[in-house]
Amino acid sequence: MASIAASSVSADRASARPRAIANWLFAVAMLVFAMVVVGGITRLTESGLSMVRWDPVTGIVPPLNDAEWQAEFAAYRASPQYQLVNAGMSLAAFKGIFFWEYLHRLLGRLIGFAFALPLMWFAVTRAIPRGYGWRLTGLFVLGGLQGAVGWWMVASGLINRPSVAHERLAVHLVLALILMSACVWTALDLVEPRRRKLAAWVAPFLLLLALQIVWGAFTAGLRAGHAADTWPLVVGRLVPPLASLIDDPLSVQWLHRSLAWLVAGAALLVAWSSSKVGAGRRAGTVAALVILQFVLGVLTVLHHVPIPLAAAHQAGAALLLAATIRLAHWTTSEAAVR
């Protein structure tokens, strides 16, 4: 990978292909988005602990006959989740949860190939523009780290507890969204070179959005969406009895809901102010997505966290982040009026 990073140093302008590399990065970002959505469904169906081994190479092949399924099921039956939560589960039901975790890991491998092979091709053909070799190598390393963090998360639920640690789940989700955002930002840099500094709103709004995403992950990991099923009051109060804002399901849900108001208000303000200086559809997309995301969150709570709504809510968070990255990058272009 060091040679790939260094190859861009000597790439001349004639051989560089910034548009092709940008399109490739956008495609990788879409794959990461798909993995985030499947990861959300994996958590909602409590499928993440169905595969109790991490086999990066041989694990790409699922069980192909009854004997292999029985062996996989026997390994799962030794896990805390089966013994404490799913005792008596049938093989057919196990195959159902196995499917989502297998698909999630398969997407991870696909992303690895979809990044590594084109990266090597662009390096060999000297298509990487000057200065981008190290950035692309860094993205590849970040993707590999994401796989390791995924197993670190799963491992937390294989000893003495029937679920993964929600803090590790949050790290796994945030790292995936950082990877997706970095791919989008780098692709935009390739086709829309930055000329200005970031707008003042970018850093504080992204921090607020990051906090909301973290507490959304806590909400999913703790099944805190089931702690209260009313809106706008929580168990009949604006502020329910609070305990730990990290470990108590009701308190975590309340904070996630409270941050939603701040995120929605801030996003609409950002969209309005950006539209005044020519952001156009970029600003409108952020506004539309934050409204949709807010509504999805409310509906998810009111309907007792059905999987389709909850999965759409997590997908909405990723889309809102991507739209925000796109708008933030636009503020650095010559088209942005100051």
**77, 141: one domain:** yes
**84, 32: one domain:** yes
Q: Maximum Cα–Cα distance for the chain, whole Å?
A: 67
Q: Check residue 173 and give its pLDDT.
A: 97
Cross-strand pairs, 237: 234
Range of the structural domain that residue 264 is part of: 194-338
Q: Check residue 1 and give its pLDDT.
A: 57
Final residue of a domain: which of 152, 174, 191? Answer: 191
Q: Check residue 172 and give its pLDDT.
A: 97
pLDDT tens for 105-151 read 999 999 999 999 999 999 999 999 999 999 999 999 999 999 999 99
CA dist list (Å): 87 to 66, 91, 115, 162: 20, 12, 40, 11
Q: Check residue 2 and give its pLDDT.
A: 53
Q: Check residue 56 and give its pLDDT.
A: 81
Q: Check residue 221 and give its pLDDT.
A: 95
**179, 44: one domain:** yes
**185, 292: one domain:** no
**104, 22: one domain:** yes
Q: What are phi and psi of 237, to 5 degrees?
A: -135, 155
Q: Check residue 29 and give its pLDDT.
A: 98
pLDDT tens for 3-24 read 555 544 444 555 779 999 999 9
Q: Check residue 8 and give its pLDDT.
A: 46
Q: Check residue 45 and give its pLDDT.
A: 94
Residues of the chain with pLDDT under 70: 1-14, 335, 337-338
Picking from 85, 62, 84, 89, the residue whose alpha carbon sits closest to that of residue 74 is 89
In total, how many domains does the chain have? 2
**Cβ contact 48:164 at 8 Å:** yes
Q: Check residue 59 and give its pLDDT.
A: 83
Final residue of a domain: which of 163, 191, 219? Answer: 191
**245, 213: one domain:** yes
Query: b/e for 197-207, b at 16 or more Cβ within 10 A?
Result: eebebbeebbe
Q: Check residue 211 and give its pLDDT.
A: 98
Task: Say what the alpha-carbon torsion angle 136, 138, 144, 149 is, to the nearest 10 degrees.
Answer: -140
